[in-house]
Amino acid sequence: MAVDGLETYDLRVGGVRLNSYAYNVSMVSGVSQLPGRDLISTPGPRQDGSVPIPGRFTEPPTIGITGWISDRNPDGSHASNPQIQFEKNWTAFLGAFVGQGATIKVERCMPDGSIREADCRVSAAIIPELPQAGASRIADVKVALDIPGIFWKDSSGPFTQSYTTFGTATTLNFLSPSTAPITDAKYVVTGPVTNPYISNSAGDYITYNGTVPAGQTWTVDAKAFTSVLSGTGSVLFQTSYKNSGGYLFEIWNPYKVTVSGSGTTSASKWSVTADKKFF
């Protein structure tokens, strides 16, 4: 096993390793639509990227998962009764896509051993029919899903890195090898610093019009759309910002951030906490 019980490109849905119950399990990105029965009637919860913004991510990306139901034991050994095992595998495979909530976690093991995950909604499926008596115990199954949150993320995150450089563009190398925009990061600036200012390479920025005393912090949570000064609470009314994507603050590959302000000392620092994100 590569990591956490998964081989390279293995898929786990709702905690169920699909490859234990089917042959040739694969995922196809960008599936426009798989014909089949509609399995959902209500939208998923609001998530990062799920609110349409004109010209940006107006439709959740779709994926398709396919496989051939196996008649072997989950460990790959021959079953004493293949027909009964086939039916068990069929139930386990399809049952993975039936969750208690509006979304189901889908995980995929990458060649470098990392696991990427996304909360998905099942949009359609082709339900396989059991084979005729005497026929080969095999059934083709296809499931279509969409990703309300738009992006995949590294399952081992979120990650945090601290810096002491002010006034110079800093590349957040800890986000490598991300490819997608980071729209839900948390930024923490530790004082002393007056009028702290955070900007990206596109000229978007967020700034607190005031002083962060020594030992205190100014925290910007882009996902929650908050600006908080420790010991004071929300300072959103004293906060100015400019964005081009509809988010409080957003960065793109190569993920450069400039943090500046006056009155800094050797005790001043800032940090970024974020998930690695992928299309």
The pLDDT score that the predictor gives to residue 72 is 87
Q: What is the 3-state secondary structure (H, E, C) of the chain?
A: CCECCECCCCEEECCEEHHHCEEEEEEEECCCCCCCEECCCCCCCCCCCCCCECCECCCCCEEEEEEEECCCCCCCCCCCCHHHHHHHHHHHHHHCCCCCCCCEEEEEECCCCCEEEEEEEEEEEECCCCCCCCCCCCCEEEEEEECCCCCEEECCCCEEEEECCCCCCEECHHHCCCCCCECCCEEEEEECEEEEEEEECCCCEEEECCEECECCEEEEECCCCEEEECCCEECHHHEEEECCCCCCCCECCCCEEEEEEECCCCCCEEEEEECCEEC
- Of the two residues 1 and 42, the one the predictor is more confident about is 1
Average pLDDT over the chain, rounded to an integer: 84
Write down which residue in 134, 154, 174 finishes a domain. 154
pLDDT in tens, 141-195: 888 888 888 889 999 989 999 999 999 999 999 999 999 999 899 999 999 999 9
CATH number of 216's domain: 2.60.120
Write down which residue in 132, 154, 176 finishes a domain. 154
Q: Is residue 60 part of a domain?
A: yes
Q: Is residue 3 part of a domain?
A: no
Write down which residue in 126, 154, 182 finishes a domain. 154
Q: Is residue 264 part of a domain?
A: yes
CATH number of 74's domain: 2.40.30
pLDDT surpassing 70 at residue 244: no
